[in-house]
Amino acid sequence: MSETIRKPTHTILPAAPAEKASPPPVELRRVFVRDLVMTCSIGVHAHEHEHKQRVRLNLDLDVLEATQPIADDLRNVVCYDEIISAVRRIVDTGHVRLIETLAERVAGLCLADPRIRTARVQIEKLDVYQDVASVGIAIVRHNS
């Protein structure tokens, strides 16, 4: 008696590779500076070279959470006081033609700290137009 082998009615696919364990979620802390108003030598026009003008700066920094506890120790966090002081030093270095240049410098300063993953920088000129509260730009930059 001969037995016949039946062909399968469905295709057998190789087993799917085991799913890799997803990395733990990235924990972030937001450090921010709101409405820092400074006088700044900024602008392309001749009158802007002669007189400083008021600018307002806002920062939002996404900071990686430390793996070790903060332990109520300033060394274990991004210090907003140090950031504000460094921003003031940038503003005091001399004339900047474009507000975009100033924003890039501030973002670069912030991202020099590898704990800072994202820097959102908004800078506004406050006294350009009598009938407009402010004009300016906002940028977002990321650490790789």
CA dist 58 and 33 (Å) reads: 5
Res 7: pLDDT: 52
Q: Check: CB of residue 40 under 8 Å from CB of residue 100.
A: no
pTM of the model as a whole: 0.81
Confidence of residue 66 (pLDDT cuts 50, 70, 90): confident
Per-residue pLDDT reduced to its tens digit, 21-44: 777 667 899 999 999 999 999 999
The total of other beta-carbon atoms located within 10 Å of residue 42's CB is 20
CA dist 53 and 39 (Å) reads: 5
Q: Check: CB of residue 33 under 8 Å from CB of residue 82.
A: no
Average pLDDT over residues 110-132: 96
Query: For domain 28-142, which architecture applies?
Result: 2-Layer Sandwich (3.30)
Average pLDDT over residues 48-62: 96
CA dist 57 and 99 (Å) reads: 11
